[in-house]
Structure 1
Amino acid sequence: MSTAIVVDGAFFLRRFRSSFPSLDSNDPKDIAWGLTYLAGWHIALKRRAELPDETLEPNTFRPQETSHLYRVFFYDCAPLTKKVHRPVSKRSLDLSKTETALFRIAVHEHLKTVRKVALRLGRLNDDFIWRPKPEAMKKWLLDTANFVPDDTDFELDVVQKGVDMRLGLDVASMAFKRQVDQIILVAADADFVPAVKLARREGIDVVLDTMGGHAAHDLVSHVDGVRNCRFAGQKKEAE
């Protein structure tokens, strides 16, 4: 039986710099390499437990080329590409040309080419609001009489749609079809608890990887173990 790596993409990208400090968090190729390393690291741990005498180095191990990896599922949302108006100046802003959108698109396009990586895209709700950034709120509270906000004091508050559903369906399918015996969940949100509980009821070993971050207590309570993958060395390519 094999292992499936199930990744909340937004969480993975937020934690990437902390877990992979020697890699470039703005380079889609480095992000893909980090994702592959994470998969190899977890599979190596499992194989070492089963075969203590076997030596595997996740830095050069190719998990995509073994039957031990079923697939890496990466769940994210395509960025908003509409035109909006800035909150204070009311100037037009083309979201498709922002650094955030261009980066996310580049990551998605590269992951599509990586072997055994399945990209699952939800969508961002078009009904968003501009919310004050935490730093702006602090400045306002410190000097309410003189604080004058500008466009840079606000950020888009958007809601993901379809990510939880896609992840839950994939986990249910793998569990009911007995396609894997282990699922590595890279996430922190309590919204994934129902999928985790279903997988465990079907006998799947569910391991949570928080990448050194904080996970919801409910999620931690419903997994079979917690690990934190981290790589601070130098990237190597497998032969």
Structure 2
Amino acid sequence: MRGVHIGNVIRLVAYSYRPRNLGGACCPGLFHVEVALKIAFLIDGGFFLKRFRTLYPGVDSHDAKEVAQRIKWLIGNHLEYQNKTQQCTNHWSLLFRSFYYDARPYEKQGQRPVSRAPMNYQASAEATFRRALFQELRKTPNMALRLGEVRKEGNRSWILKPGTQNDLLAGKLGIDDLTDDDFVPAFRQKGVDMRLGIDMASLCLKKQADVIVLVAGDSDFVPAAKLARREGVRIILDPLWQNVSDSLFEHIDGLYSGVARPSNTRKQQG
């Protein structure tokens, strides 16, 4: 039997056989076509960036090129793992497409919460980094950006940091002790989870992927994952070594992290 990988989808396998009535002479057999797995990646960008410092403590988390490279390595490690059963010449040939979900940075004007000094969100370090990262990902082959938007939560512009709030309740701080650094912007992403769910449903209903690797850390994906599994698509969850609740295992087909386990986390891979 001889196998040849053709393109990124088809593997052509030729069989030889020895008919008894020809004295055992080897004759060409039939061709059998096997379809290699098509794998799609759905990456929750906000979750990935939140875990980045834990996963890569020695890497600048605001270096767009470094972050984009780690995303590519994450994808490559998953493809290499899946290729253990597929045995394609190039594990990247299993990739259908990667989808990266995030929100465009907030770029309006505002004021600091205590000093009332003017603030230009567009010029902030976070906004500058996000724009640079998105540009790097746009240049990555087979990568699609799915961007929602950031809005303020109702009429609130700022919220207290959890540690500051605890100190206030404990009497360690007074109202007059608060500074601008004790607050964070009251922003909320809009349209990100919706885009992820729609893409997951579309991938399975159009039969574009056999396996979906979901890089996420919460249960918002469960309804779409149920649909995908009913359509025969396997869901592999990569929580980036964050602990996963037992109830989530009911809605996935496997758990695998494409990055090395940080030394301070408990192993849950399987």
TM-score bracket, shorter-length normalisation: 0.7 to 0.9
Is 2:177 aligned against 1:141?
A: no
- Distance in 1 of aligned mates of 2:70 and 2:240: 12
Is 2:215 aligned against 1:190?
A: no
Bigger CA drift: 199-208 or 82-91? 82-91
Judge conservation of contact 2:65–2:136 (CA < 8 Å) in 1.
yes
- Which blocks of at least 5 consecutive residues in structure 2 are unaligned? 1-36, 262-270
- Distance in 2 of aligned mates of 1:29 and 1:23: 11
- Which blocks of at least 5 consecutive residues in structure 1 are unaligned? 233-239
- Distance in 1 of aligned mates of 2:247 and 2:122: 36
- Distance in 2 of aligned mates of 1:114 and 1:162: 23
Aligned counterpart, 1:237: none
Aligned counterpart, 1:3: 39
Secondary structure at 1:131's aligned position in 2?
strand
How many residue pairs align between the two structures?
222
Question: What pairs with 1:51-200 in structure 2 (closer than 5 Å)?
Answer: 51=87, 63=92, 66=93, 68-127=94-153, 129=156, 130-143=158-171, 146=174, 148-200=177-229
Give 2:125's aligned amino acid.
E
Secondary structure at 2:225's aligned position in 1?
helix
Runs of 4+ that moved beyond 6 A = none
Shift of 1:62: 7.3
Aligned counterpart, 2:69: 33
TM-score by length of 1: 0.85
Please list the CA deviations of residues 156-175 of structure 1 after superposition, one character each: whole Å capped at 9, or x if unmatched. 12211111111111111110
Question: What pairs with 1:217-236 in structure 2 (closer than 5 Å)?
Answer: 218-231=247-260
Shift of 1:144: 5.1
Please list the CA deviations of residues 103-160 of structure 1 after superposition, one character each: whole Å capped at 9, or x if unmatched. 1111111111111111110011244531111221232233357452111100012211
- Distance in 1 of aligned mates of 2:115 and 2:39: 51
Aligned counterpart, 2:81: 45
Shift of 1:190: 1.5
- Distance in 2 of aligned mates of 1:145 and 1:27: 35
Give 1:33's aligned amino acid.
Q
> Per chain length, whose mean CA-contact separation is higher, i.e. which structure has more relative contact order (CA < 8 Å, sep 6+)?
1
Secondary structure at 2:220's aligned position in 1?
helix
* Greater gyration radius: 2
Please list the CA deviations of residues 159-203 of structure 1 after superposition, one character each: whole Å capped at 9, or x if unmatched. 111111111111111101111100000001211111111111110
Aligned counterpart, 1:16: 52
Judge conservation of contact 2:153–2:186 (CA < 8 Å) in 1.
no
* Cα RMSD for the two superposed structures: 2.1
Bigger CA drift: 73-82 or 136-145? 136-145
Shift of 1:24: 3.1
Secondary structure at 1:229's aligned position in 2?
coil
Bigger CA drift: 147-156 or 116-125? 147-156
Fraction of identical pairs, as percent? 38
**Which protein has the bigger strand share?**
2
